[in-house]
A and B are shown apart, each in its own frame.
Chain A
Amino acid sequence: MSEHHHDHDHDHSELSETELRVRALETILTEKGYVEPAALDAIIQAYETKIGPHNGARVVAKAWTDPDFKKALLEDGSKAIGTLGHVSRVGDHLVVVENTPERHNMVVCTLCSCYPWEMLGLPPVWYKAAPYRSRAVKDPRGVLADFDVSLPKGMEIRVWDSTAETRFLVLPMRPAGTEGWSEEQLAELVTRDSMIGTGFPRTPGAPS
């Protein structure tokens, strides 16, 4: 793979075939008046700044501290999150699934790469790649081992295959030793992977 090229003026021979093709397509779409390059820039900037796992983490932390919110969240994720003005809007079909001592939840999209972008940001490469998509529904414990995660032997593992426009967010269990913590402190413990179900929240005192 070639390196990043942010300088658009240098010799095209240094650009990969894909870069050249992508640039050509943008040129054509622009010349035909379909898109404004500045609008494309703004889309990218919005993805880079507005969405990300911090949104999901705030929702999880609130659910850990506010039982009424948690109840509402599990009943209708989109509606409950809609009441939090500061979290990006999630559309209509977000389902929040709760981890318990009896059951661990994990989310995949075997057919493409559906993912709750508004809650977690753009998905990581592994989520979109064949190893995860193929194996999560058949051997989820094997997949978790790739993340150095293991579950108690008899614990139920529930895999949610996102085959429609519903999106799933895992509500992980609140770590022990966090009694009295504020929402802001708790949100720092919530990892992206803990909301996909391929990890756990950080434990208090562990390096982030």
Chain B
Amino acid sequence: MNGVHDMGGMDGFGKVEPEPNEPMFHEEWESRVLAMVRAMGAAGAFNIDTSRFYRETLPPHVYLSSSYYKKWFLGLEEMLIEKGYLTREEVAAGHAMQPAKALKHGKFDLTQVERIMVRGKFARPAPAAAKFNIGDRVRAKNIHPATHTRLPRYVRGHVGVVELNHGCHVFPDSAAMELGENPQWLYTVVFEGRDLWGEDGDPTLKVSIDAFEPYLDPA
């Protein structure tokens, strides 16, 4: 979706402000939100792409004015309601009122903690041969799906070069909508800065994205 989350190249957000000696969490609730998202995801309530999509679909003014963990919280609450794990009445009451919905991987308990500290695996067997080779010129498609996609707007329509092939991975556009993993070839595609930003762009800049094969046409 063409949401405010797709920020590459936008102007007006001001300076980057590094915080010296930044704490891991600024408020205790942030750590609880992180833990709840990781736990409910590991228990099978949602996949990582679906959770990203729920954050992206927050109203634009909410997205822009909320901290990172606030967005995580708002996305989590809405996702759990929509997927039937809790109800708006329960959220309003602050207590469980309905029977629980079964979780795919069961309750998240202490025995599960170790496994979530290792990153998940997203590589999958290839359903077909790769269409592109290293060095091929490709054009990022001019597509504007209203649903989740990982093709940022700032490269759409532009030509780049395939630099790396990462194998076949879970396709976020499908997984986010719970339409299956639909594995696709994943490439690093590199663009010249001036192709993206015009003649005023930094001539020393190259930008790459990791692009799934359905995002690309031969060029």
Q: Count of chain A residues with Cβ under 8 Å from any Cβ of B?
A: 85
Main secondary structure of the interface of A (DSSP, over half): mixed
Per-residue interface assignment for chain A, residues 27 to 51, with 1 indicating a CB less than 8 Å from any chain B CB and 0 otherwise: 1110111111011111110111011
| Chain B residues, Cβ within 8 Å of A25 | 36, 73, 76-77, 91
For B87, give the chain A residue with the smallest CB separation: A28
A95 within 8 A of B: yes
The answer on a CB contact under 8 Å between B14 and A35 is no
The answer on a CB contact under 8 Å between B13 and A159 is no
B132 within 8 A of A: no
Report B140 CB to chain A, min CB distance, Å.
11
Given A39-B112, A118-B119, A163-B150 in contact, is the A29-B8 Cβ separation under 8 Å?
no
For B211, give the chain A residue with the smallest CB separation: A163
Report B196 CB to chain A, min CB distance, Å.
8
For A161, give the chain B residue with the smallest CB separation: B209
The answer on a CB contact under 8 Å between A163 and B95 is no
Report B7 CB to chain A, min CB distance, Å.
4
Known: A29-B40, A162-B210, A165-B169. 19 other contacts (CB 8 A): A6-B28, A27-B95, A34-B43, A34-B85, A36-B107, A44-B32, A51-B117, A91-B120, A126-B18, A128-B68, A129-B16, A134-B9, A134-B10, A137-B8, A138-B197, A146-B15, A155-B204, A158-B205, A164-B166
A residues at B contact (CB < 8 Å): 1-2, 4-6, 18-19, 21-29, 31-36, 38-44, 46-48, 50-51, 88-93, 95, 110-113, 117-118, 121-122, 124-126, 128-141, 143, 146-147, 154-167, 193, 198
